[in-house]
Structure 1
């Protein structure tokens, strides 16, 4: 049976490939670690099988280059290559071999596990999570030269371009661009997928089309059809490994970098379903709309179910649905649908950048340093925690990071039926994302750091599942803190609290992934007004009146950012 080459049209002519958004899915591999470029092909190692593979980035065609040396490559976690030689890391050693003879020879032995290797001329760069450094060696004889402080907390992979050392971290889900001589971080970007395990620049036929590729390796849950079980549908896990371009743009003036993004459609709709008979007259049902930010652009918003008028609350957009009379047993659906461009963003600020920050303006103190959301800032436990969190630290950036780590040390994540105030949460030691935010707000504000809530939903992080309706399991909130003279920067509430007593990643400290949707900065997401007066949630609860329906559809990956 004849199978047409997918890279050819029906007429046999080459098809134009969108390499900038094409995921490469090598055939017959399980767990790829390390990435390198050689000619027009990519190289990687299947750490599970020991395959050193050559991959065609246009067709996914996969070739095993070391069929007689598999055992020597099993467990390898890093890869570098030139036209003459191959280097890889395994256990505590760096190995090398020639393309003519793929029998590995040990070149360097470290006291701890070696994670990745990059080559520049006769110099080798070797990452080692256990030591916390990137070690630099003479590649001819393996003698040490110097070492650089590793930028992240997880296992790191390396590649080099000119004077830049590029590092990706499996836990931080971040790629760092560093000066390869000094180790100074120039900027960093978030990866669009989790568990990055290799990184490399690759030039296509046109050198102007050079792309930065990242390989990802992990597992995914799926529903397996097992005819021997009743029911036959069973939850199972499978390996998931692929390669995808990483796009970025660094705005040095505003201290941030954006990376891969997607065009998504989001709808937020309320369905009237009151638990008790309620009759309300002259009702305004207010729902915040998505915001325009450095990383998010709202292309359009339209009404669903019934029309709304738009109002501005400060600088935030709000949809207002008006009911002359809301009657018992009335059936309605109403809400909005928005077309939004979203990208990942990561701010690059150091304590030195904030050392001479001016005082917080009085008008901001009046809004963002007060207890305006039951934060219990006068309670003894909250005030004591605010002092303990920062100690003697005076730099605002270090203060916020210390407050975050203090909260992570004392709280564990758990879903609760309602949001309790910070004093209760600190005693209990368990909190939802909203309760993490409440504690963070209280401790920051007591230390003179302006901050505000932001959220409200995250798109399911499935960038490769496009044009399918996706429903988030929960709502979500995080916060922004204000650095005088520089502006607002984001900080996640709880996702970086990944292990007891740290260390904690900083991927979402001054950063947000593409799947965060910013709605209603510093204002309530949803409120009721009757006769132009706000209705207290203890009098009428939104949850007792309606059921919300939230849907995301990822339409396409956005072109690489350029401004």
Structure 2
């Protein structure tokens, strides 16, 4: 009907609720109070309420049922005829009403403060029942046949719920932050809903101010647009995929030692991107110097060989990879993990031990492991408790080096690598196998296609293992968004398209000389070379 096009209506400042009507998008600009009719093919728009703008300011949710427009503003839900736009009060909640959806005689209203989706009878205006909200943020709604679609701004997630029972069937991550509205297109030939998501947030940019010296200054501006959400649900594998991109990633080392050294018979190993359910490696090419490949614990590794590295000698070497990456979100519940088989001896010896300076024998780490898990015995709930405990105890801060978990817990501040270290220690002490994953995130600017992008930092997260299900991802610190919970779970068993998985469970980069591995106390790779990382977003991947 429309095709994969980002819709950017002119003059819009902050789009929240959206809905389709006869091939056009109806959207509310909540700051200006403009009820917009948008042509999704051309972005052309007109204001439907030129004389009632004030009445439509601060509207957050919007739905269309027949010839009736429904909306939420403040604590109340209103309805009106599209032909007249005279607002009629429907119901008032004790707290702010966020989103609204209507199907036949049933009206769904979301309320973050109540933590509920309230269901009303359209004719009697009486509450029928209510469902718990699936996320922690402000949620907007859309409904289609048997499905209630819930779009959560903080979780950066769209949930597919059974509209009769409130059960979450699956969820998908949105490709952009701060989704503020959701609309359902008519179902396609396969009976699958087509979804469009509105986004609204502030973006930083460099402004050229001729009255200032220097004339460039950092400021912020409103950014709002509407984009199709692609999704593919794999019930047997318990995950759903969402929008993705074709990326080119380059990783290059430049020999530039702080102190000149001589090394003979050198082998420099750099892990290559992994092949996963959400990440497909289309091509890998060498940069600067050819490499051979070897497999380490199932992971591809590039091996660069030098007869020697002498004082004054300079090289650049690395790899360039073409990757297809998508968002992924697993749907596994504590009930699914009640009766699990015992871990194999191999897993216990590899993933329950202190093999990376995790300080698992110190009193502070052991006490934290007991407090984090409490009396919980269910593996998934235990993992969730440990994550929340670490988020309660730590706040995020960048550091040039990584301290062990005992020091990090005592300090209360940690980088992403230190969050991972603490999580690894507490999980392993509680019998949960886990391993480090990472190494970089593509700068999440999907609209900047064909432009070389450089990440500001490297990044690591972890995977934990559930027997019968396999390895599941969990972010280290990005979900730690406030001083206290509840914390979002967008990256608990989920990753967005910009996470690049490289070298699962193995060291990203190692250096050997004459067959002996050099540790960082002898020669640090960071003291020997400068790394250069570049991403280029080539195009958005098509729908499934």
Question: Which runs of no fewer than 5 residues in structure 2 stay unpaired?
Answer: none
Give 2:402's aligned residue: 419
Give 2:197's aligned residue: 214
Give 1:71's aligned residue: 54
Deviation at 1:191, TM superposition (A): 0.2
Instruction: Output aligned runs, 1:423-502, within 5 Å.
Output: 423-502=406-485
Q: What is the SS of the residue equivalent to 2:332?
A: coil
TM-score by length of 1: 0.95
TM-score by length of 2: 0.98
Q: Which of 533, 538, 544 is 1:550 aligned to?
A: 533
1:261, 1:342 within 8 Å by CA — same for their partners in 2? yes
1:422, 1:439 within 8 Å by CA — same for their partners in 2? yes
Deviation at 1:138, TM superposition (A): 1.4
Do the aligned partners of residues 20 and 487 (structure 1) sit closer, same or farther apart at CA in structure 2, a change above 3 Å counting?
Answer: farther
2:197, 2:227 within 8 Å by CA — same for their partners in 1? yes
Write the distance in 2 (CA, Å) between the matches of 1:488 and 1:533. Answer: 32
2:268, 2:511 within 8 Å by CA — same for their partners in 1? yes
Do the aligned partners of residues 48 and 436 (structure 1) sit closer, same or farther apart at CA in structure 2, a change above 3 Å counting?
Answer: same
Write the distance in 1 (CA, Å) between the matches of 2:110 and 2:43. Answer: 29
Instruction: Output aligned runs, 1:109-188, within 5 Å.
Output: 109-188=92-171
Instruction: Output aligned runs, 1:220-299, within 5 Å.
Output: 220-299=203-282
2:69, 2:80 within 8 Å by CA — same for their partners in 1? yes
Write the distance in 2 (CA, Å) between the matches of 1:228 and 1:188. Answer: 49
Do the aligned partners of residues 207 and 43 (structure 1) sit closer, same or farther apart at CA in structure 2, a change above 3 Å counting?
Answer: farther
2:65, 2:103 within 8 Å by CA — same for their partners in 1? no
Question: What do residues 464-504 of structure 1 show as CA deviations (whole Å, max 9, x unaligned)?
Answer: 11010000000000000000111000000000000002110
Do the aligned partners of residues 166 and 31 (structure 1) sit closer, same or farther apart at CA in structure 2, a change above 3 Å counting?
Answer: same
2:364 equivalent to 1:375: no
2:38 equivalent to 1:55: yes
Write the distance in 2 (CA, Å) between the matches of 1:547 and 1:439. Answer: 28
Question: What do residues 354-385 of structure 1 show as CA deviations (whole Å, max 9, x unaligned)?
Answer: 11111111111111011000001111111111
Q: What is the SS of the residue equivalent to 2:237?
A: coil
Q: Point out the more displaced range, 420-429 or 224-233.
A: 224-233
Write the distance in 2 (CA, Å) between the matches of 1:265 and 1:370. Answer: 36
Write the distance in 2 (CA, Å) between the matches of 1:302 and 1:100. Answer: 61
Give 2:82's aligned residue: 99
Give 2:322's aligned residue: 339
Q: Which of 340, 344, 359 is 2:342 aligned to?
A: 359
Matched positions, count:
544
Deviation at 1:228, TM superposition (A): 1.3
Write the distance in 1 (CA, Å) between the matches of 2:388 and 2:473. Answer: 15
Q: What is the SS of the residue equivalent to 2:198?
A: strand
1:285, 1:526 within 8 Å by CA — same for their partners in 2? yes
Do the aligned partners of residues 149 and 256 (structure 1) sit closer, same or farther apart at CA in structure 2, a change above 3 Å counting?
Answer: same
Q: What is the SS of the residue equivalent to 1:253?
A: helix
Give 2:4's aligned residue: 21
Write the distance in 2 (CA, Å) between the matches of 1:39 and 1:385. Answer: 58
Q: Point out the more displaced range, 281-290 or 531-540.
A: 531-540
Write the distance in 2 (CA, Å) between the matches of 1:63 and 1:183. Answer: 36
- CA-atom RMSD in angstroms: 1.3
Name segments (4+ residues, structure 1) moved above 3 Å.
203-210
Q: Point out the more displaced range, 95-104 or 465-474.
A: 95-104
Give 2:178's aligned residue: 195
Write the distance in 2 (CA, Å) between the matches of 1:503 and 1:92. Answer: 23
2:63, 2:100 within 8 Å by CA — same for their partners in 1? yes
Write the distance in 1 (CA, Å) between the matches of 2:82 and 2:354. Answer: 66
1:34, 1:157 within 8 Å by CA — same for their partners in 2? yes
Give 1:10's aligned residue: none
Write the distance in 1 (CA, Å) between the matches of 2:189 and 2:171. Answer: 26
Write the distance in 2 (CA, Å) between the matches of 1:495 and 1:530. Answer: 38
Write the distance in 1 (CA, Å) between the matches of 2:190 and 2:508. Answer: 48
Deviation at 1:537, TM superposition (A): 1.1
Write the distance in 1 (CA, Å) between the matches of 2:438 and 2:193. Answer: 36
Write the distance in 1 (CA, Å) between the matches of 2:237 and 2:105. Answer: 37
1:173, 1:193 within 8 Å by CA — same for their partners in 2? yes
Q: What is the SS of the residue equivalent to 1:77?
A: strand
Give 2:378's aligned residue: 395
Q: What is the SS of the residue equivalent to 1:407?
A: helix
Question: What do residues 158-185 of structure 1 show as CA deviations (whole Å, max 9, x unaligned)?
Answer: 0001111000100000000000011000
2:161, 2:170 within 8 Å by CA — same for their partners in 1? yes
Question: What do residues 273-314 of structure 1 show as CA deviations (whole Å, max 9, x unaligned)?
Answer: 100011100010110000000000000000001101111101
Give 2:511's aligned residue: 528
Deviation at 1:145, TM superposition (A): 1.0
Q: What is the SS of the residue equivalent to 2:10?
A: coil
Instruction: Output aligned runs, 1:298-317, within 5 Å.
Output: 298-317=281-300
Q: What is the SS of the residue equivalent to 2:324?
A: strand
Do the aligned partners of residues 204 and 161 (structure 1) sit closer, same or farther apart at CA in structure 2, a change above 3 Å counting?
Answer: closer
Write the distance in 1 (CA, Å) between the matches of 2:20 and 2:513. Answer: 64
Write the distance in 1 (CA, Å) between the matches of 2:370 and 2:474. Answer: 20
2:188, 2:194 within 8 Å by CA — same for their partners in 1? no
Give 1:85's aligned residue: 68
Give 1:515's aligned residue: 498
